[in-house]
Amino acid sequence: MVSEQQLSAIKGSKVLMVGAGGIGCELLKTLALSGFQDIHVIDMDTIEVSNLNRQFLFRQSHVGQSKAKVARDAVLKFRPNISITPYHANVKDPDFNVDFFKQFNVVLNGLDNLDARRHVNRLCLAAGVPLVESGTTGFLGQVTVHVKGRTECYECQPKPAPKTYPVCTITSTPSKFVHCIVWAKDLLFAKLFGDKNQENDLNVHSKDGSSSSKQAEDVFERHKEENLEQYGNRIYDHVFGYNTELALSNEETWRNRNKPRPIYVKDVFSSDLASQNGNLDKSSNGDPPSLSAMASLGLKNPQDLWSLKENSKVFLEALKLFFSKREKEIGNLSFDKDDQLAVEFVTAAANIRASSFGIPLHSLFEAKGIAGNIVHAVATTNAIIAGLIVIEAIKVLQHDIKNYRMTYCLEHPSRKMLLMPVEPFEPNKSCYVCSETPLDLDINTHRSKLRDIVDKIVKAKLGMNLPLIMHRSALLYEVGDDLEEDEVANYAANLEKVLSELPTPVTGGTILTVEDLQQELKCSINIKHREEFDEEKEPDGMILSGWIQPLAAEKNGKTTVDNEVSTSSASEAVPLLTEDDDDLRIIPTITGKKRKLSDVANERKNKRKAEEPNSKNDVVLLDDEKF
């Protein structure tokens, strides 16, 4: 039971929940049962079948509807007299500005991606509203409390960048299945079905440095006289046969590696060429409910491992189905883990490539998990985490600062604990988000354009939504609805200019001010000119630093003694939670691509370094599962 004091704090409060998914459903239920009477919920997603195993407020009949709205209706059934305000919207919408956030006593996050979390963190800091953060994956989870000036903010500890793979590993020397998935999804699938104008490294670079794409520019275009079978076979032979032959010609590459085996259609279907193309004609008579190569080939269990021949059949069949049944979408498709045919195509292509490179094959179920970055999720962990969020939220409402805790939900007990509370950390004095520490940017000011800074730093690294860039009092760049036409043109022109040639030149020693008016976040960037960057290691052609190294600097500070104590007690107790979180990005071609919010894949498993260098002491921070 709760005390009278607690109860009145709960009843008088107005809370904002961001996310009505796995954690969100549990949280809304527990808030309502606990006596909260004014709850606002934001979620941009709609309900999917794979949500139903844990997002218990939703039913089969709700598939396709707004999560926030259905969750509200479901909770009002057992608590009809409370107020729940749903928003079927993106929390990054400008409507949810600092004033909007100011109306709440506490904000509770149950989000599935780093981008939105950072955004909410900034709005909470700007509005001065405490934030309770949470995340789960499988049996692991955590809840943290962020109160401006009292505890660290969500971004006080740098979050590691998503895993990226060098281009040549993906295009020429894959050694893991995930490399084959990335190749199949981001290169082959994108080339065949995606935006034709997108830069794409699918073709192998041969020994003399010339790309096979030059002479084979049109190899992926279907010839007029070609039927779909011929086209499929030609694509197959090109990507699994010819391209591999070409890669083999770089003898240097294979000196210390196992050589791949080129695979051609004729090798796989040596004897029964006639039957290679499945039963498309048959199945089209029986019109299958959803378009699936598996279905037309009679493959049922997604957990089965297919042979090379089966994979080849699926590949050719899926390709044929795309071109015959979904022709209109070709050119605009991007990989979607809920698109059965796309998953089949990518699985098959990745497996054929894997078999070429001597890498173990995987089932469709497994391949889908890797390609879609699907996070493991169960109802129980979400329920536990939601309970812990409400306990912290009640403390926050009572300003019970001494008792704020971060709590980790563990899979294996540590010092007898399955639920482990830890004192929150103090704010990081050199955090660019919650303190005003300037950042440093090494960049070639004679070569890089303003656009590079906007895309690769301001948006990608600093997570700003509507940025404004200033050099002293001169505005270099700005986004907004209320701009004059000449301003828009001016900023567009600036974007394409090299830094040193801007109207107010940006050179070594320049201090840029970057600001996001929505997030009310402002920071300074010291520009340092540097001539050369390592293409593989520093693919952005620029290096941002400043808040990345707070750890070493902090060690000497006296102010962090308390922090140290709590850190070491935490790190003693928390075992290393190893996550195999291979992400699916290739550098540099894919990083610039616009990705769906939900695709911001791997940021879900963020690792925080404890202060001891021993990696055993890492604490892993988790996101809410995706979908």
Interacting residues with other proteins between 287 and 326 (CB under 8 A): 300-303
**Region near other proteins per CB under 8 A, out of 218-226, 410-418, 448-456, 583-591:** 410-418
Give the shortest CB-306-to-other proteins separation in angstroms. 16
Distances in whole angstroms, Cα of residue 401 to Cα of each of 14, 26, 372: 19, 25, 40
Cβ proximity to other proteins: between 343 and 439 the closer is 343
Q: What are the phi and psi torsion angles at 558 (to 5°)? A: -70, -30
Among 280, 391, 453, 506, binds other proteins (CB under 8 A): 391
d(CA 87, CA 85): 7
417 is an interface residue for other proteins by CB under 8 A: yes
Cβ proximity to other proteins: between 166 and 387 the closer is 387
d(CA 159, CA 226): 50
Interacting residues with other proteins between 46 and 65 (CB under 8 A): 49-50, 52-54, 56, 59-60
Which token pair is 139? 């049996």
Which token pair is 400? 């019970």
Give how many residues touch other proteins by CB under 8 A.
60
Whether 523 is catalytic: no
Query: Do 515 and 470 touch, CB atoms closer than 8 A?
Result: yes
d(CA 166, CA 120): 32
Give the shortest CB-365-to-other proteins separation in angstroms. 8
d(CA 42, CA 24): 10
Residue type, 518: Q
Q: Where are the alpha helices (DSSP H) in 183-290?
A: 190-193, 212-215, 228-236, 243-248, 265-268, 280-285
Q: What are the phi and psi torsion angles at 389 (to 5°)? A: -60, -45
Distances in whole angstroms, Cα of residue 177 to Cα of each of 161, 173, 190, 248, 335: 21, 11, 18, 20, 18
d(CA 320, CA 61): 33
Give the shortest CB-413-to-other proteins separation in angstroms. 5
Interacting residues with other proteins between 70 and 89 (CB under 8 A): 75, 77-81
387 is an interface residue for other proteins by CB under 8 A: yes
Residue type, 44: M
Q: Where are the alpha helices (DSSP H) in 398-448?
A: none
Give the shortest CB-544-to-other proteins separation in angstroms. 35
Give the shortest CB-105-to-other proteins separation in angstroms. 17
Residue in 168, 180, 409, 523 annotated catalytic? 168
Question: What would the x/- binding string for other proteins be over residues 155 to 184, using CB under 8 A?
Answer: ------------------------------
367 is an interface residue for other proteins by CB under 8 A: no
552 is an interface residue for other proteins by CB under 8 A: no
Question: What would the x/- binding string for other proteins be over residues 123 to 162, using CB under 8 A?
Answer: ---------------xx-----------------------
**120: which residues sit within 8 A by CB, 6+ positions away?**
18, 91, 107, 109, 111, 131, 154
353 labelled as ligand-binding? Answer: no
Among 12, 413, 503, 505, binds other proteins (CB under 8 A): 413
**Region near other proteins per CB under 8 A, out of 164-172, 177-185, 374-382, 480-488:** 374-382
C-beta atoms surrounding 502 within 10 Å: 20
Residue ranges of the annotated binding site for ATP are: 19-24, 43, 51-54, 67, 112-117
The catalytic site residues sit at 168
Q: Which residues bind other proteins (CB under 8 A)?
A: 1-2, 26, 29-30, 32-34, 49-50, 52-54, 56, 59-60, 75, 77-81, 138-139, 300-303, 365, 369, 374-384, 386-388, 390-391, 405, 407, 409, 411-413, 416-421, 625, 627
